Amino acid sequence: MKTTVCIRLVFVVLLSYAGSGLCAPLLYPSSETFTQQDAAKMQTTASVLSPVYGPLADHVVAKFDLADKEGIGIDIGGGPGNLVIELCKRTRMYWIDSDINPYFLPKFVETAAAAGVGERVGAVFADAQALPFRDNYADVVVSRGSFPFWEDKRLGFAEVYRVLKPGGVAYIGRGFSENLPVETARTIRDRQKQGGKQGPPPYNVDETERELRSIMRSLKIKHYTIHRPQPPGSEGINYGIWIEIHKRGKT
């Protein structure tokens, strides 16, 4: 199994690099900065959020009509790969889990294989600010909960836009999709509060929206929409914020 995992990781990197340079140099993993202990802590957080990923995948697939689509999708900061696996189950696409902590990746490949989607996933170490993919590479880019941790958010979103194919779409955000049942969302938020430091860092949704709009203006990206889910009955529950970005042009 270890040999298979290594081959898969190397293959994805070579495939994504072929035929193009990068807009920024590849950053390599650091065993001191990104540790196995960090990955284990994230696994604990992911277990609290496990009810989120199925509905989010349903939402993304329906919103962008992906059920019968073929192509390549990337989850930036996918960590354990929960969203990638759920998207794989619902589409015919090939999905790549990219994360800056390399300790997530071998376990992710094993989990994907156990879920029956191992032949349509890849895993690659990647910094969101220096993605190791050629220009116009991906049909879809997604990310849930990653962008607040990008040191340079403007550069991160520039990279997202660069790797998207013309006609491609990105759906980047934090929180929940609008189809997540309200009681599920309430339960998750309550568990996060009880978890103290394990919970999400506090943030102001209005300020986050202003920041995202400012980044889009600075990058001259015009075709985007900000979503702030608020399903009926969800008053007082933070459902988060998402940005939908379209890269115009023909594939």
**pLDDT tens-digit series, residues 23-49:** 455 566 566 777 777 776 666 666 788
Over residues 82-103, the pLDDT tens digits come to: 999 999 999 999 999 999 988 8
Is domain 2-246 classified as CATH 3.40.5.90? no
CB 167 within 8 Å of CB 141: no
Which pTM was predicted? 0.86
The length of the chain, given as a count of residues: 251
Per-domain residue ranges of the chain:
2-246
Strands 94-99 and 121-125: parallel
> DSSP letter string over 130-182?
B-SS-TT-EEEEEEES-GGG-SSHHHHHHHHHHHEEEEEEEEEEEE--TTS-H
